[in-house]
């Protein structure tokens, strides 16, 4: 039997084919799915992750860089699979660092803003680092041109206020700086299915998701500011409008496998 480690393309295929059928599975469609990625010095983010995790770094102009993304979208028809008649829609923004854990590419979540009163459920029942917000995504998609003619995000939140205006080229994503090939790029940026985070009680938590292959177009940031990244010293106001990359997709079918689990009971140091 071969002991050869599967490559990025095989891992993506396996992740797309693997779905769960639990009682608490959530189904939703992510509309106006935008991923704004920054390449930053690793020392800016290393203290924020659990010491058992390894940063995924890339080399850009001979400098080592860690990658983190702001991921904005609208949850449309958010529902539990067993209760399909109860549906909600709301804006959401995730802040995630790309890491490896036990040899697997995954995402470390700094946290999430959720424009719904139901944010109290994940925050207090499962101790997820989710925060209340008021979010407006103003997006107009030109179907004939297959691109957005306008995309803007405004989030009012004490934890992570955000401003974002994007242009969409309509061109398929090509190889981005720092990646050796497109499959590795897709695996790292768009196909981490396990997310880890510091719970609000200081323990290490995790949950898993599913989505099919993502086919994004390339965007450009006309204006961006992210209060959380400024406050943590990760991306300053003068850097926010110059991201490593901007990728956009009109909609993404998505599943979340709940409840989250506690990985370690050891508290945040």
9, 27, 196: which is closest to 98 by C-alpha? Answer: 196
Domain ranges in the chain are 8-264
Instruction: Please count the CA atoms within 13 angstroms of the CA of 33 that sit on its side-chain side.
Output: 19
Indicate the pairing of strand 104-114 with strand 130-132: parallel
Q: Would you tell me which CATH number, out of the four given (3.20.20.70, 1.10.3720.10, 2.40.400.10, 2.120.10.30), belongs to the domain 8-264?
A: 2.40.400.10
CA distance 59 to 244: 12
SS3 14: helix
Binned at pLDDT 50, 70 and 90, residue 209 comes out as: very high
Sign of dihedral through CA atoms 116, 151, 56, 180?
positive
Q: Which of 81-85, 86-90, 175-179, 227-231 has the lowest mean pLDDT?
A: 81-85
CA distance 111 to 122: 12
Tens-place pLDDT, residues 213-260:
999 999 999 999 999 999 999 999 999 999 999 999 999 999 999 999
Tell me what pLDDT residue 213 has: 93
- Total residues found in the chain within this entry: 269
159, 269, 166, 182: which is closest to 220 by C-alpha? Answer: 166
In the chain, beta strands by DSSP E: 26-40, 54-55, 57-60, 63-80, 83-101, 104-114, 130-132, 134-142, 147-156, 162-172, 194-198, 204-211, 217-226, 245-264
Tell me what pLDDT residue 32 has: 98
Reply yes or no on whether the pLDDT at 110 is more than 90.
yes
What burial letters (b/e) apply to 52-71, b meaning 16+ CB within 10 Å? ebebbbbeeeeeebbbbbbb
Tens-place pLDDT, residues 22-41:
778 999 999 999 999 999 99
Indicate the burial class of 206 (C-beta count within 10 angstroms; 0-12, 13-18, 19 or more): middle
Taking a C-beta distance cutoff of 8 angstroms, is the pair 268, 202 a contact? yes
SS3 137: strand
Binned at pLDDT 50, 70 and 90, residue 80 comes out as: confident
Tokens of 61: 């102009």
């Amino acid at each position: 039997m071969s002991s050869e480690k599967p490559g990025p393309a095989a891992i993506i295929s396996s992740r797309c084919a693997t779905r769960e059928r639990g009682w608490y599975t959530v189904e939703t469609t992510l509309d106006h799915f935008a991923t704004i990625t920054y390449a930053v010095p690793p020392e800016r983010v290393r203290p924020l992750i659990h010491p058992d995790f390894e940063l995924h770094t890339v080399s850009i102009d001979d400098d080592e860089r860690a990658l983190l993304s702001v991921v904005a979208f609208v949850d449309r028809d958010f529902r539990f699979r067993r209760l399909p008649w109860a549906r909600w829609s709301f804006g959401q923004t995730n802040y995630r660092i790309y890491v490896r854990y036990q040899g697997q590419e995954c995402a470390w979540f700094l946290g999430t803003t959720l424009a719904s009163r139901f944010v109290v459920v994940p925050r207090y029942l499962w101790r997820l680092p989710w925060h209340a917000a008021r979010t407006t995504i103003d997006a107009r998609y030109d179907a004939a041109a297959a691109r957005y003619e306008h995309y803007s995000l405004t989030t009012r939140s004490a934890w992570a206020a955000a401003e974002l205006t994007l242009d969409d080229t309509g061109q398929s994503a090509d190889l981005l700086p720092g990646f050796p090939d497109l499959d590795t790029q897709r695996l790292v940026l768009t196909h981490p299915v396990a997310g880890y985070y510091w719970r609000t009680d200081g323990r290490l938590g995790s949950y898993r998701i599913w989505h099919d292959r993502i086919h994004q177009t390339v965007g450009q940031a006309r204006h961006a500011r992210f209060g959380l990244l400024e406050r943590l010293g990760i991306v300053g106001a003068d850097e926010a409008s110059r991201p490593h990359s901007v990728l956009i997709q009109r909609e993404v079918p998505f599943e979340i496998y709940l409840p989250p689990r506690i990985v370690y009971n050891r508290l945040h140091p």
